Homo-oligomer: A and B are copies of this chain.
Amino acid sequence: MKNQPDKPGPPFTVKEIAKYLKCPFEGNGKTKIKGISSIENAQKGDLVFCSKKKYRKSLKKSLASAAIIPRDQKFDQIPVIKSENPHLSFIRVIELLYQPERPKPGVHELASVSQSADIGSPISVGAFSYIGDHAVVGDGTIIFPHVTIYPNVKIGRNCIIHSNVSIRSSTEIGNQVIIHNGVILGSDGFGYIKKKDSSYAKIPQRGKLLIKDNVEIGANTTVDRASLDDTIIHEGVKIDNLVQIAHNVEIGENSIIAGQSGISGSVKVGKNVIMGGQAGIADHIRIGDDVIIAAKSGVSGNIRPKSIVAGYPHRDIRTWRKIWASLSQLRPMMKEVNRLKKRIQKLENQNKNTRE
């Protein structure tokens, strides 16, 4: 690995950073920036960003040496770089200042790469990583130590595969894909047929797993291959840690799946969907584009585009909130009904007496 991965490099001046960002700056351009920080924890030498006016008060108290602020705002206590999107600019500064953790280029002498594998150049293959027969790995891809790539796997260009990942045969991965540690790609789907003696016959899983460009998959997540046909994770999808994606699932472009969510077999998720943590989707469900599913929801039916749902069983989020608001009034209402019953009884007795 490089000498000082993940440590900041040499300092830059505010002027140099502004130029790199193609943004104007105000204040002393010679101020040196050594690192980045949140506003609260900034030290001398740190650059921070401040998108919203409500954080302005914290910024005034901060020890930061410079800040990135919205282009139409002013701040004269420290040097400022003025950006149309301060957060995006801040990200670019992080990429400038910090060398991410990367293994050394080349194939490590303790790696095992099949003679029949087709690996690109440049490439990094870390210690103890294994690349099976006929596997293909594209140019610029970085494979950390302890990765297992089964035979026939295809991996595109400029991907990053972290340690302890297993990628099984019939998996095809696009370009610029990031796979975090412990992820399992292309494992068997969970399918059985019950036999007469109550035991189960395994349904062989022979479909593919296709992962398109710019996908990122979090630590210890599992994505199963299809039984037949394909499991497909479309371009730009971001998946958090410990998520389960079952066989024959399809997830549309730029959808976001938060941690520990589970998507059952043959579910089709649309584009730009946002799924909160620990959500679960029953099998064969269709979820439309631009849907938001609240954390911990249990989805048991199809969801129309642009809906926002919550709860188990899931409901439109407004309905679900009303139900839970009503529940707090449930016991008072039960008491009220008992009181009304007594008043009715009394009225009935009065009427009986009146009429006698």
Q: How far is the CA of A182 from the CA of B163 in the complex (A)?
A: 11
- In the complex, per-residue mask of A122-151: 1 if CB is within 8 Å of any chain B CB, else 0: 000011101011100000000011101011
Among listed A15-23, A25-33, A234-242, interface-contacting one: A234-242
Measured in the bound complex, the distance between the Cα atoms of B214 and A130 in whole Å is 29
List chain B residues, Cβ under 8 A from A182: 164, 166, 182, 184, 220, 222
Bound Cα distance from A282 to B260, whole angstroms: 13
Q: Kindly report how many copies of this chain are found in the complex they form together.
A: 3
Q: Are A187 and B181 in contact (CB under 8 A)?
A: yes
For residue A277, CB closer than 8 A to chain B, the reply is: yes
The segment from A54-62, A71-79, A91-99 that touches chain B is A91-99
Is A177 an interface residue, CB under 8 A from the partner? no
A95 to B206 alpha-carbon distance, docked (Å): 10
A93, closest chain B residue (CB)? B204
A224→B241 contact, CB < 8 A: yes
Q: Which residues of B contact A355 (CB under 8 A)?
A: 350, 354
Q: Which residues of B contact A184 (CB under 8 A)?
A: 164, 180-182, 219-220, 241
CB distance from A305 to the nearest CB of B (A): 14
A87 at the interface (CB under 8 A from B): yes
Contact yes or no, A242 B240, CB < 8 A: no
A152 partner, pick from B6, B193, B296, beta carbons under 8 A? B6
Interface size on A, residues (CB 8 A): 122
Find out whether the CB atom of A203 lies under 8 angstroms from the CB atom of B91.
yes
The answer to whether B169 and A101 touch across the interface, beta carbons within 8 angstroms, is: yes
- In the docked arrangement, what's the CA distance between A118 and B166, Å? 27
**When chains A and B are docked, how far (Å) is the Cα of A147 from the Cα of B181?**
12
Interface residues of chain A: helix, strand, loop or mixed (majority): loop
Most buried by B among A100, A195, A298, A331: A298
Q: Mark A185-216, 1 if CB is under 8 A from B, else 0.
A: 00110101101001111111010000000101
Q: Are A148 and B145 in contact (CB under 8 A)?
A: yes
- The residues of B that contact A236 with a CB separation of less than 8 Å are 199-200
Residues of B with C-beta under 8 A to A278: 262, 278, 280, 298
When the two chains form their complex, are residues A341 and B336 in contact, meaning their CB atoms are under 8 A apart? yes
Contacts of A193 in B (CB 8 A): 85, 87-88, 91
Q: What separation, in Å, do the CA atoms of A100 and B1 have in the docked complex?
A: 34
Interchain residue pairs with CB less than 8 A apart (7): A144-B150, A199-B236, A219-B222, A260-B260, A264-B277, A347-B347, A354-B355
Residues of A within 8 A of B (CB): 1, 3-7, 36-38, 40-41, 85, 87-88, 91, 94-95, 98, 100-101, 110, 112, 126-128, 130, 132-134, 144-146, 148, 150-152, 162-166, 168-170, 178, 180-182, 184, 187-188, 190, 192-193, 195, 198-204, 206, 214, 216, 218-220, 222, 224, 228-229, 236, 238, 240-242, 244, 246, 253-254, 256, 258-260, 262, 264, 271-272, 277-278, 280, 282, 295-296, 298, 312-313, 319, 322-324, 326-331, 333-334, 336-337, 340-341, 343-344, 347-348, 350-351, 354-355
